[in-house]
Structure 1
Amino acid sequence: MAAAKENFFENVYQVVQLIPKGRVTSYGAIAAYLGAKGSARMVGWALIASHPHTKIPAHRVVNRNGLLTGKQHFDEMNAMQQRLEEEGVKVENDKVVDFGNLFWDPAKELL
């Protein structure tokens, strides 16, 4: 079971590394792409575990409504928002502005 979890986490990391700068996706979209629809929380756990890996752009993954629900897992409270804004993503009240146009769906983009 632990090996399956590690493989899932690694698969999550591979997808997250493909999210272009200035775009965002959701935990659920990643789970669905990996054939694990309904496992959005598991994607979240993988991203929490990724923080020691500086090359994983976890800040580009938000909830299905564009909310920065994972922000408390970054070293600094506003780090997630700051990283997104550095890439040109506008955030207001912990929510990605224009989420629909910035949403990157791996199921469509990674054909």
Structure 2
Amino acid sequence: MKKEKPNYFELVYQVVKEIPPGRATSYGAIAHYLGIKSGARMVGYAMNAAHTMPDVPAHRVVNRLGLLTGKHHFITPTAMQEALEKEGIKVENDQIQDFDKVFWNPDLELAL
């Protein structure tokens, strides 16, 4: 019997759905938590496909420096920033301010 491969995009979405409002994480942190060999890039591909899914808060996933690198995948160029600011996260020049304070680490937050 052939073993089913996990759907990595679905695994990524499950983690992203756990990020609480007012917090953000990075592509790499999600990849590390899931043990995805292709790493942050695979998480990025999943997030690019998630921007039309209302139940996946894709705006809470940024690069390791807090930069809104995925903003061009949203309906408008400012939608990602607006969604973060609505949750109380300060963004300047496409970068989350005090990223270390809002950073949500799935390794710690979702520890078994």
Question: What 5-or-longer segments of structure 2 have no aligned partner?
Answer: none
Further displaced range: 10-19 or 34-43: 34-43
Partner AA of 1:65 in structure 2:
L
User: SS of 1:84's equivalent?
Assistant: helix
Instruction: Quote how far apart the aligned CAs of 1:36 are.
Output: 1.7
Q: How many residues align?
A: 108
RMSD of aligned residue pairs (Cα, Å): 1.3
1:4-24 CA deviation, whole Å, 9 max, x = no partner?
Answer: 4x7100000000000010000
Could you tell me the percent identity over the aligned residues?
61
Contact 1:25–1:105 (Cα < 8 Å) also in 2: yes
State which structure, 1 or 2, has the greater radius of gyration over its C-alpha atoms: 2
- 1:1-111 equivalences under 5 Å are 4=5, 7-36=7-36, 39-111=39-111
- Which protein has the bigger helix share? 1
**TM-score, with normalisation over the residues of structure 2?**
0.92
Per-residue deviation, residues 36-86 of structure 1 (Å, max 9, x unmatched): 255101101101111231110000000000000000000100000000000
Whole-angstrom distance in 1 between the partners of 2:83 and 2:41: 22
> For the residues of structure 2 that align with 1:38 and 1:46, how far apart are their CA atoms?
12
Structure 1, gaps ≥5 residues long:
none
